[in-house]
Structure 1
Amino acid sequence: MDKVTVYTSNTCPYCTMAKDYLNDRGVEFVEKNVQNDAEARSELLEKGYTGVPVIVVGDEEIVGFDKHKLDSALGK
């Protein structure tokens, strides 16, 4: 399975929904909190994004919590 990374912040309800969704489906992921981690914030800005969540599945980047795009990227 492709590596999954979720860029989040402390106050983002969609980030929480995305993490819960992945957990409910047994998908392992790495969380990078841009509010607490300057390196994660820099990574996200380098990708051209200023908002969260951004979910990276392999090479695919999904902006926001979009179940259909996420399921498609995960092959589910």
Structure 2
Amino acid sequence: MGLAVLAEDGSEMTSKMWEIRAMKKLGYLIFPFSIYFGSYDLARISQRHTHQSNIDLRVGSIVAHANSLPPANRKHIK
């Protein structure tokens, strides 16, 4: 799909950032919570001009198209 998850400043995410992001995303797997978290997150994402989820805001990450990044920032994308 060509998406990249980066820190907000365009640098590579640290292991700690990935751990926090993964633990928060696990909430989407638990059925009763997944409906609530999913619908709440979609509503909040559509209201923000950056289209960041609550998890992305808390961690300090952003999802972007890999091809839209400057070449210097693409070197750590796999």
More helix by share: 2
| Greater fraction of residues in strand | 1
- Larger relative contact order (Cα-Cα within 8 Å, sequence gap ≥ 6): 2
Structure exhibiting the larger radius of gyration computed from Cα positions: 2
